Amino acid sequence: MQEEKLRKGPWLEEEDERLTAIVALLGERRWDSLAKASGLKRSGKSCRQRWKNYLRPNLKHGQISAEEEQIILQLHDQWGNKWSDIARRLPGRTDNEIKNYWRSHLRKKSQVPEQDLMLSKCDTDYSVALSASNGDCTSDKDDILGSSMDFSNEHKLSNLEFPSSPYENRLSDWMSCWSYGLSEMKHQGDFCSSDSCFCFPAWSSDDSGNGTSLWDSSTSLWDMD
DNA sequence: AAAGGGCTCAACCGCATTCAG
DNA sequence: TCTGAATGCGGTTGAGCCCTT
């Protein structure tokens, strides 16, 4: 059997759309399976990274503000190269973005030599960190559904092959609901995100919208049973 | 206008950690 | 408890853009 070669390099718009749609459907986990399910010739790892750093809703893509810069400087002073920790204090920013920004803009500004930073790391009161606001829930991806859904027809999700783990079996079942689910979601007109998770407002059922969501917010898991 | 050097940022890589069976 | 898979993280790379000469 010949393993198909995985794509590398910059992502195409179509790939982004596919990934966005499949993550909306299946959630942010099991990236390998998700990569296969999407039909993308990308590794799960690559999909995960693309999602986290670029496609995830609520990401800010604009310039880092002066306040944000101050925060980065301050936290980097405190914690060193803990990019993911710093990113958590800056809603909408990714660790990658902060890391790049620090390297290109702030490294020279930083007063502390890099090797000393590791010594000064401490778990001081994180409250410095800025109660970051969250209101910024607007998403550029409002039209995700509209622009991406056609691929379900073109790319034959039904042809997917999954190994036989329980999750993947259930995933297969899910895929068979694909078309129905999408049209239903589209009808609902809104699948919003909260933090890093998508949740479908109502998955199925009657016209009144009293559907049952399969997203279990208490466990942060999809209820596939 | 062309060359080249520096900068930015998306993406890759490898290791560490966590999770699930 | 062990082991393999999945995920998280930080460092590095490289393409493309911009600025200077």
Domain extent listing, chain A = 13-57+156-222, 66-122
Helices (H) and strands (E) in chain A, counts: 11, 4
pLDDT at site A11: 92
In this structure, is the CB of residue A166 within 7 Å of any atom belonging to strand B? Answer: yes
Q: How far is the CA of A48 from the C1' of C6 (A)?
A: 11
Q: Which pLDDT value is given to residue A98?
A: 92
The predicted structure's pLDDT at residue A122 = 35
Q: What is the predicted pLDDT for the residue at A4?
A: 62
The pLDDT value given to residue A25: 86
pLDDT the model gives residue A209? 33
Nucleotides on chain B within 7 angstroms of protein Cβ = 7-14, 21
- Closest CA relative to residue A95, chosen from A125, A59, A129, A119: A59
Give the per-residue pLDDT at A24.
87
**H helices of A56-111, where?**
66-79, 83-88, 95-101
Write out residues whose CB is closer than 7 A to strand C. A 29-33, 44-45, 48-49, 52, 81-85, 95-96, 99-100, 103
A46: CB within 7 A of chain B nucleic strand: yes
Pairing label, strands A192-194, A197-199: antiparallel
A189-210 exposure pattern, b = at least 16 Cβ within 10 A, e = fewer: eebebeeebbbbebbeeeeeee
Secondary structure (3-state) at A121: coil
The token pair at A201 is 């407002």
Check residues 84 to 123 of chain A and report those whose beta carbon is under 7 Å from nucleic acid strand B. Answer: 96-97, 99-101, 103-105
The predicted structure's pLDDT at residue A110: 63
Chain centre distance of CA A83: 17
**pLDDT score of A173:** 46
User: Longest Cα pair distance anywhere in chain A, in angstroms?
Assistant: 62
CATH classification number, A66-122, choose in 1.10.10.60, 3.40.50.2300, 3.20.20.70, 1.20.120.1200: 1.10.10.60
pLDDT of residue A172: 47
Triad A177, A221, A53: Cα angle to 5°: 95
What Cα–Cα distance (Å) separates residue A174 from each residue in A15, A168, A223?
Answer: 21, 9, 11
Which bases in strand C are touched by protein, i.e. have an atom under 7 Å from a CB?
5-12
Q: Tens place of pLDDT for every residue, chain A, 225 residues? A: 444 678 888 999 999 999 999 988 888 888 988 998 888 889 999 999 999 999 988 888 888 888 898 899 889 988 888 999 999 989 889 999 999 999 888 776 664 443 343 333 333 333 333 333 333 333 333 333 333 333 333 333 333 333 344 444 444 444 444 433 333 333 333 333 333 333 333 333 333 333 333 334 343 333 333
Provide the pLDDT for residue A224. 36
Taking residue A120's Cβ as centre, other Cβ atoms within 10 Å add up to: 11
